[in-house]
Each structure stands twice: as C-alpha cells, then as structure tokens.
Amino acid sequence: MPVLLEARSLGDDNHAIGTAPPGDCLEIGLLNNLGDGGLASGERQFISLLEAAAGDAVVRLTLYSLPQIRRSQATRERIRGMYSSMSSMLSGRLDGLIVTGAEPSAPDLPSETFWRGLTEVMDWAEHHTISTIWSCLAAHAAVLHLDGIQRQPLPAKQSGIYEFQRTGDHALLAGTGASYRAPHSRFNGLDAESLESHGYQVLTHSRTAGVDTFVKKWGSLFVYLQGHPEYDAPALTREYRRDILRFLTAESGRYPTMPENYFRDDVEMRLRDFEMLARIERKPESMFSFPVSIMGDGLKAESWRQDAATLIHNWLRYLRAQKS
C-alpha cells in the first residue's frame, strides 16, 4: 500500500498525497528533527521504509518538526508548506509516532534548545499514542528524561553496518533470524546493564557495537533504536563526506572514522589514499579529489533493508492489533 502523506500544501517533494481513507487507516506522525541538510532525505527514507513495511495496511503520515530547532529561511519555508504544527499534534492522538534524532549543538542534552519541546512530546506520547519509536539522539533523550539514564561518550564515532544478536523473543522481531543487521552512526552509547536495571528489554545487542533495539511499556509501547534502520544505501557515505569536509574546514579537529563493514575492499583502499592527501593538504578544495563514483557502486550489499522492513512491519501490525 502507498503511504499517504498529509501536507499543508502540495509540493514537488511530496512522495504521495492522499485524503484519509476510511476504516483501519493507521495515523502515523513523523517528528522530523534532523538538521537542514538531512531533513528532506530523512523524509524520503522513512517514507520508503514505511512503504516497504506496510503490506496491506493503509498508513497516513503527517510530518512535524520541533519549532525550537534553528533553521535556515529555506527550510522554514519547506516546513511551513509541508509540515503540520506541533500544537495540532499535541492537542490530538496518533496511533504511532516516529521521532528522529537531531543535530546536537550543546554539551549535554538538557542544554539543547529543543530539550523542553522534546520532553513535552515524550510526556504526551505516553498517553496519546499506541506506540512511539525513538531514534538515535531521541532514544538517548527519552531514557534520560524518563529514567535518568545518561548516555556515555564513545572513544570514536561508531559508524557502519553491524550485526546484532537477538537477546530474546519479542513480537517486533517476528520473522527475523538469530542475527539482525543495522546501520549505526553515533558518538554516544547506552549500556545494556543500565537499561535492564531500569526495566528496559534489550532486543538486539552486539559485543562490539553494543545495544541496538530496546523497548519499555509505559502507557504506550516505547521502542528505542540506537541505529538507523531507515537509512538508504548511500546515507553513511553522505555523512562520511560531510564529516571529512568539516575536518578540511577546521570545523572538526579529527578526521572521521571510515564506516565499518560498508565499503568494498577496493573502495576502502581508495579512501585511505584520499585520507592521506586530505591530511597533508587540509583545505576545502581537497574535496574535489574525493572519489565520488563510490556513491553509486562502491558499497557492499544493502543487507539491512529486509531486517528493517520486518521490524517496522511488525510495529505496524502491533498498532493495528491494539487499535482494533
């Protein structure tokens, strides 16, 4: 089934526009808090994942974004045209809500400009959704607000495609194998022992990459993702290029870690050669030598997409069962 995208006005970037179908339509909200550079790609990735997962379910998706996030004028215009207001969300109900991460700018989460708005959504979602998915930074913020669990900085950015093992049975993992693959891209992590001591159930875990998916039942079933099952194939490449440019412009003092288990071996060698050049000639113009051809054919298989679609399919099935 197509995903019907509710929008305040019609635009070329709308994936699919429709009116609310009768009956068992699932009302899903996407609270998209990604930075200006990732806002549109985040929309596309989540719509694509929902379409792959929907099966015979009818999903109507409404876009929202926290107004406290600093935006360019162009992005504000996009949000004004395509997104619904937060007040409209907080005055109603949704069957399901997906909350993305955000670009951090403060030394700790409670100091972020969007913290108050995000915690208001957490408190609202507990009683006004059947289930909510908290992704990446949103997952870290939710466990901090709800249970005081602090995320811990990692020695280096964890970026790549990782294999996780199922740690128990749960309806969200129905149809997946003993192992589960997912993209991760983060500087911080949550400890499994701390989560479990506060009543969270860890569903997928890796000795090398840590916790992936975990859940806790409040008034709503909260599903937490440290990874990014929505990512399309070149997403980690885009992030890697962005982080390289930040190094070359001295916005960052550290050359980024290459995504693991992601590029083909021959491509990794080309990227190592580029890294040597970039470290010697540290200037923005060095990006002209970046091997852009890898965006199309330099990646290993997009092996996580089936697992991602299965997870979201099971989530939608849970919503339908609870709604009926």
On whether both 106 and 224 belong to a single domain, the answer is yes
Query: What integer pLDDT is reported at residue 285 of this predicted model?
Result: 95
On whether both 75 and 222 belong to a single domain, the answer is yes
- Percentage of the residues of the chain whose pLDDT score is greater than 90: 83
On whether both 136 and 251 belong to a single domain, the answer is no
On whether both 271 and 217 belong to a single domain, the answer is no
On whether both 64 and 190 belong to a single domain, the answer is yes
Q: How far apart are CA 191 and CA 204, in angstroms?
A: 13
Query: What integer pLDDT is reported at residue 296 of this predicted model?
Result: 62
Report the alpha-carbon angle 270-307-259, nearest 5.
Answer: 20
Query: What integer pLDDT is reported at residue 295 of this predicted model?
Result: 67
Q: How far apart are CA 296 and CA 52, in angstroms?
A: 21
Query: What integer pLDDT is reported at residue 13 of this predicted model?
Result: 40
| Phi, psi of 224, deg, nearest 5 | -115, 130
On whether both 150 and 117 belong to a single domain, the answer is yes
On whether both 108 and 41 belong to a single domain, the answer is yes
Q: Which residues belong to the active site?
A: 136, 228, 230
Where the chain has pLDDT below 50, the residues are 7-22
On whether both 227 and 136 belong to a single domain, the answer is yes
| DSSP single-letter state for residue 257 | P
Do the strands 210-217 and 201-206 form a parallel or antiparallel pair, or are they unpaired?
antiparallel
Query: What integer pLDDT is reported at residue 300 of this predicted model?
Result: 75
Domain count, the chain: 2
On whether both 254 and 108 belong to a single domain, the answer is no
Task: Tell me the CATH number at 206.
Answer: 3.40.50.880
What's the whole-model pTM score? 0.92
Query: What integer pLDDT is reported at residue 297 of this predicted model?
Result: 66
Count CB neighbours of 286 within 10 A. Answer: 18
Range of the domain at 143: 3-232+302-323
Q: The tokens of 199 are what? A: 């009543």
* Neighbour-count burial of 95, counting CB atoms closer than 10 A to its CB (0-12 exposed, 13-18 middle, 19+ buried): buried
On whether both 178 and 166 belong to a single domain, the answer is yes
On whether both 169 and 255 belong to a single domain, the answer is no
On whether both 205 and 313 belong to a single domain, the answer is yes
Residues 186 and 136: beta-carbon distance below 8 Å: yes
Q: The tokens of 232 are what? A: 């399309």
